[in-house]
Structure 1
Amino acid sequence: LSLAAIEVQSMRVDCKVASRFAHTVMTTKALNTANASQEVFFEVDLPKTAFITNFSMLIEGRIYVSEVKEKEQARQQYESAVSSGLTAGLVKASGRNMETFSVSVNIAPQSRITFTLTYEELLQRRLGSYEIMIGVRPKQLVQNFEIVVDIYEPNGIAFVDVNGTFITNELLPLVKKTVTDKKAHVYFSPTLDQQKTCSDCEETLVDGDLFIRYDVNHPQDIGEIQIINGYFVHFFAPDDLPQMPKNVVFVIDRSGSMEGEKMKQTREALMTILSELHEDDYFGLVTFDDTIEPWRPFLSKATPENVTEAKEFVKTIEARHMTDINKGLLFAVDMLTTEKSHSFPDMSMIILLTDGRPSSGQRDLSKIQENVQNAINGSMSLFCLGFGYDVDYSLLDTLAKQNDGLARRVYEASDAALQLQGFYDEVATPLLLEVNLNYPGNAVIDLTQSHFRQFFKGSEIVVAGRLQELETNTFQTEVSKFGIRLMVSTKEILVSERGKQAKFSWTNNKTLEGLKNSVKFLIILHKIWKMHQYHQDYLGFYTLDSHLFSSNVHGLLGQFYHGVNFEVSDLFPGKDPDKQDANMFVKGNELTVTRGWKRDFRQDVKNGEEVPCWFIHNNGTGLLDGVHTDYIVSGLFKTI
């Protein structure tokens, strides 16, 4: 290909994003200035999570439209077409986050050709933002060059940042960005002179990737639901929840192939990651080659003293012999299960870092997958990091997916340590465990995944489905955490989890696992003498640690969990000669309240403790926000 003979006359990238879904059209026009036919190569870098929906070529007034195929089928047909001298294009991996689409075609002398490529992508939220990545590498100066990005988010845009690998100080002022409440516009169109690397040069500065990162305003209750043409999508990203402590074991490959720069970068990353552990976390370090060497054979709390000792151990890790992934993972699982007690967090994870494939111990890949899955048995998540290109990435990907985690490739480069730290940052802050998004069974069909083992700060859960009735504009949604539901009545106690249900009477003595380190309640069955004229057993509901509730809690009880400012006057005789009243000044209201006593059973479950209190009349009018009927719902776990 002669760059002098093929002149790129224009290049335009038009990206439109609506509700996290990006639709990008790249149009390139080229002219063969030579007096002979020339082979033109058209190459475009695409995000790995994008998919091509259309590719066409306009040659001498005639449009040629491609047929998009599944990858493996496309590869076979591509090889067959090329060997037959036909025009075909293929997508291949080209780097960390990109894939390259390439096609070549012969064009006649002095002829023009227009390439139009369309690809789409559902943007994923990571570390608190969505990222639009546009690869632009024209390889020459372009007379008319444009990048246009328009973003529309119904819930409002929180921020927009623009940068690029090729954006120099000279090009930076040319990036035009405007942001309003729900819309953002980014425009970049350098002239020929502005594209040049120097005033007398013919090389272009425009050679790299443009990044646009943004976030939206996320509702902090059940999330955002959008309904269009009988389909719905539910975005759930509550970032204001308190961080959950976690148990984490780092399983580090120290086989011979990790020698040199890989091991140095691994140690460097671990030093930073250990510094970022929360003091309520518990952690462990397991190194393996064909033998296992843990820092300690048990979990340790992330106190400053323990973290310092762990760092000293990390400094001693050296590459040695073969690779026994099976043994390393099973040792970590055993550490997390046998050492577990009520003082440990609910959230457990293993982070595996390896650069190779099994070469010692169990080498059968399917057997390794079976062993690990049986050992974990749904009790923790496994995250796998594959270092370099020799790693068996398909093994790691399967291991992670089978055990509620994900796999990532770490590329051998000077920033490998930063890649490791970046991945850890994504999973470092769990906010929820066992999240279920529930929808009315008679209203929703064709539902995507709606149960998620964990939710991490800065990420987002997305569920989509089809509605039974096309005219539906709204429907009820429930979000339940921990996956455990208690239904308590004066007759019995029902415990349900993921469709399974158990029934207990008040005489049973049972312990429910899985609710430790969360908000605690005390429910007491108060039995009334059967001969009493107003005989009716009732339930007492007592909150033991209301300070752990979010400040957004605002139910009938929740509105008082963070305190209410009030003043009370001196006592005076009330309507009941045996009780005294007072004036209470609260929320701008003056209420007549009555002095009384109630039993508090939080400390003494059997007898209770007499505590003074104020009785509010007229169904709490003047004290409650709104009126008491505002807090009546159709069911215990309903919101309306």
Structure 2
Amino acid sequence: CQISLSLGPSFQTVDVYSVTVGCTVTSRFAHTIVTSKALNKANTSQEIFFEMELPKTAFITNFSMEIDGQVYVGKMKEKEKAKKEYEKAVSSGQTAGLVKASGRKMEKFSVSVNIAAKSSVTFILTYEELLQRKLGQYEILNRVTPKQRVQDFQIVADIYEPQGFAFVEATATFLTNELLYLVEKTLCFWFIFYYLDLIKCCISHQIVNGYFVHFFAPPDLPRVPKNVVFLIDRSGSMSGRKIQQTRDALEAILKDLHEEDHFAFILFDSSIVTWKDSLTKATEENVSKAIAYVRELRDRGATNINDAVLRAVRMLVEDRENDKLPERSVDMIILLTDGMPNNGESNLQTIQENVHSAVGGKMTMFCLGFGNDVDYSFLDVLCRQNKGLARRIFEGSDATLQLQGFYDEVSSPLLLDVDLRYPDNAVDHLTKNHYSQLFNGSEIVVSGQLINGDPDNFLVEVFAKGPEMDYIVQGKASVVNLEVMYPEQEYIFGDFSERLWAYLTIQQLLEDRFDHLNCKALEMSLQYSFVTPVTSMVVIKPDTEDGPSSPLIADKLTEGRCRKGQNIISFLRRLTRPLSVENQATGPPAHHLYFAS
């Protein structure tokens, strides 16, 4: 694939020989390596840049540079130690860095290094992630942003799934319309979607080197009725496009409700207004009336989140006590807001405590943070404390589709109180094995270590509640010998099951937000060489004619730290030529790769 852009004369002194992206997926766990080689053709030293975007859920596992045959490999360190080492160099003018806020699915890693005349540099970046099943499919996404002609460009994806494939599709599209007129031939985006054959068995096991991975996604289950209270922020900051997009999304969502579902609307600004005093069954007549009500939604006032959420909780509790809701059904609160609470109770921790106490583990809360002003970390904690999750809705013309897309993911619960149980004498170091619900198109993944590496006593039992009766299934693990199934690729599998277990464990430890668990997350991040919110990777380039050694740092932030005004955060002053590195991150670990050279 030839990539050609018409760029200015400053780019003519650097030849980018190659850009190679290699992605290997083994049982949903993706390992991606991006390699780029460039030559400084000039008669003087100059900076050469390496930039790429990777999925938010990915963990960088390695970054290295090869300069004229000498390899400089990144070393994993505790975040504060890495930061002090980096800032010490910055303060003496040796290097500079930049952290950029992340986008919707991606975050940016960037590094520049000063290269002597007629010298070459090879950049190698590796990252890993567990592909999540959403709406029945898995997605591999890569983004390439070429800035000049690349002589050798290659993307290779190898996917190994013992269950077999039901469907695979690969697509590509242009990165931005702004670049189209510059491009003679380009591949800027590529996606791979694939569906697995889950019809034969709902319990799938992989056992490699004493570690197991269990995937649970039962097919053809009836959906569980849901009782959902929509909490809609109509404060003044929602004016204009936001409120219109909210109206459009709610209208589409209402049309997708099933008749056995119940729903309610609570509008809030400085006051709290309910459409009705209790939840309403989603009959055709009631949905039509609700759509007419939503169309009249207007913005006004301040933002009283505390009282609005507590009112929603009371409504669900009272309807439960009065037997107005099906016994086997899911209670949900979906909060859409674009700002900070500035009316009523405004202390964020107090709001979280109030909601957690009121909910009492009896319902699930989802929060949609609209735009850049919203305090996402506050919403994230609010949801995690109440069995749900938060999602940022990015401002743009497709915000309506984002709202609908999120709702589609949680609109069809299949099972409640899902427990995956294993014999105490057979497994150890289990990842999370209890889930409050399983939604249609999603998947539960549990991993752990076999005691004595013996699969003979490895029996898994799944207990859950369905819409009408309890759901119970059990099965004995059958060891899939990947080396036999793929005899020519035995080198691929190695320790993937152990790394997948470590990935899940670290991710879940960080979600719990307790200091002692973060210590364990740090220990494991260092052991398995993952760049996480508690670690950083430092690459030291030894002394050169341009000055003493200068570190480059690969870092990972959290979604909650991306606030308005930080779409591009100037993290450090950009100084002279020496090297500069940057990486930004916002989310859990993953394994995919996007690259620009």
TM-score relative to the length of structure 1: 0.69
CA distance in 1, matches of 2:366, 2:249: 16
Q: How does 1:292-441 map to 2 (within 5 A)?
A: 292-340=272-320, 341-345=322-326, 346-441=329-424
Percent sequence identity over aligned pairs: 56
CA distance in 2, matches of 1:277, 1:72: 49
CA drift of 1:342 comes to: 3.8
**Secondary structure of the structure 2 residue equivalent to 1:469:** helix
CA drift of 1:138 comes to: 2.2
Give the one of 514, 518, 522 matched to 2:468: 518
Kindly provide the CA deviation profile for residues 151-182 of structure 1, in whole angstroms up to 9, marking residues without a partner as x.
000111121111233289xxxxxxxxxxxxxx
Higher RCO, 1 vs 2 (CA within 8 Å, ≥6 residues apart)? 2
1:95 partnered with 2:103: yes
2:171 maps to what in 1? 163
2:590 maps to what in 1? none
CA distance in 2, matches of 1:475, 1:33: 60
CA distance in 1, matches of 2:79, 2:341: 28
CA drift of 1:213 comes to: 1.1
CA drift of 1:466 comes to: 0.9
Q: How does 1:206-221 map to 2 (within 5 A)?
A: 206=186, 208-218=188-198
CA drift of 1:347 comes to: 0.8
Q: How does 1:156-555 map to 2 (within 5 A)?
A: 156-166=164-174, 203=183, 205-206=185-186, 208-218=188-198, 222-340=202-320, 341-345=322-326, 346-472=329-455, 475-482=458-465, 517-519=467-469
Task: Tell me, yes or no, if the aligned pair for 1:91 and 1:99 is still in contact at 8 Å.
Answer: no
1:637 maps to what in 2? none
1:53 maps to what in 2? 61
CA distance in 2, matches of 1:279, 1:379: 23
Kindly provide the CA deviation profile for residues 277-310 of structure 1, in whole angstroms up to 9, marking residues without a partner as x.
1111000011100101111121000011111111
2:161 maps to what in 1? 153
CA distance in 2, matches of 1:32, 1:473: 59
- The 1:474–1:441 alpha-carbon spacing in structure 2 relative to 1, beyond 3 Å, is closer
CA drift of 1:416 comes to: 0.4
Q: How does 1:116-127 map to 2 (within 5 A)?
A: 116-127=124-135
CA distance in 2, matches of 1:74, 1:90: 15
Q: Which amino acid aligns with 1:109?
A: A
CA drift of 1:395 comes to: 0.7
CA distance in 2, matches of 1:383, 1:263: 19
CA distance in 2, matches of 1:20, 1:301: 39
CA drift of 1:332 comes to: 0.7
Task: Tell me, yes or no, if the aligned pair for 2:426 and 2:457 is still in contact at 8 Å.
Answer: no
Task: Tell me, yes or no, if the aligned pair for 1:89 and 1:101 is still in contact at 8 Å.
Answer: no
1:538 maps to what in 2? none
1:19 maps to what in 2? 27
Q: How does 1:131-150 map to 2 (within 5 A)?
A: 131-150=139-158
* Structure 2 portions without partners, runs of 5+: 1-7, 475-597
Cα RMSD between the aligned structures? 2.4
CA drift of 1:143 comes to: 0.7
Task: Tell me, yes or no, if the aligned pair for 2:174 and 2:180 is still in contact at 8 Å.
Answer: no
Q: Which amino acid aligns with 2:429?
A: D
CA distance in 2, matches of 1:365, 1:72: 27
CA drift of 1:81 comes to: 3.6
CA drift of 1:221 comes to: 5.2
1:62 maps to what in 2? 70
**Secondary structure of the structure 1 residue equivalent to 2:442:** coil
* Structure 1 portions without partners, runs of 5+: 169-195, 483-514, 521-548, 554-640
- The 1:235–1:375 alpha-carbon spacing in structure 2 relative to 1, beyond 3 Å, is same
CA distance in 1, matches of 2:162, 2:273: 53
CA distance in 2, matches of 1:137, 1:375: 48
CA drift of 1:222 comes to: 4.9
Task: Tell me, yes or no, if the aligned pair for 1:220 and 1:240 is still in contact at 8 Å.
Answer: no
Task: Tell me, yes or no, if the aligned pair for 1:87 and 1:103 is still in contact at 8 Å.
Answer: no
CA distance in 2, matches of 1:76, 1:325: 39
**Secondary structure of the structure 1 residue equivalent to 2:307:** helix
Q: 82-91 vs 236-245, which deviates more?
A: 82-91
Task: Tell me, yes or no, if the aligned pair for 1:220 and 1:237 is still in contact at 8 Å.
Answer: no
CA drift of 1:197 comes to: 6.0
Task: Tell me, yes or no, if the aligned pair for 2:212 and 2:450 is still in contact at 8 Å.
Answer: yes
Q: How does 1:590-601 map to 2 (within 5 A)?
A: none
- The 1:140–1:245 alpha-carbon spacing in structure 2 relative to 1, beyond 3 Å, is same
- The 1:162–1:72 alpha-carbon spacing in structure 2 relative to 1, beyond 3 Å, is farther
CA distance in 1, matches of 2:401, 2:84: 37
**Secondary structure of the structure 2 residue equivalent to 1:453:** strand
CA drift of 1:239 comes to: 2.9
- Who wins on radius of gyration, i.e. which is larger? 1
1:109 partnered with 2:132: no
Q: Which amino acid aligns with 2:148?
A: Q
- The 1:73–1:298 alpha-carbon spacing in structure 2 relative to 1, beyond 3 Å, is farther
- The 1:221–1:11 alpha-carbon spacing in structure 2 relative to 1, beyond 3 Å, is closer
**Secondary structure of the structure 2 residue equivalent to 1:322:** coil
1:493 maps to what in 2? none
CA distance in 1, matches of 2:188, 2:397: 18
Task: Tell me, yes or no, if the aligned pair for 2:202 and 2:219 is still in contact at 8 Å.
Answer: no
Q: 337-346 vs 122-131, which deviates more?
A: 337-346
Higher helix share: 2
CA drift of 1:247 comes to: 0.2
Q: Which amino acid aligns with 1:319?
A: D
**Secondary structure of the structure 2 residue equivalent to 1:339:** helix
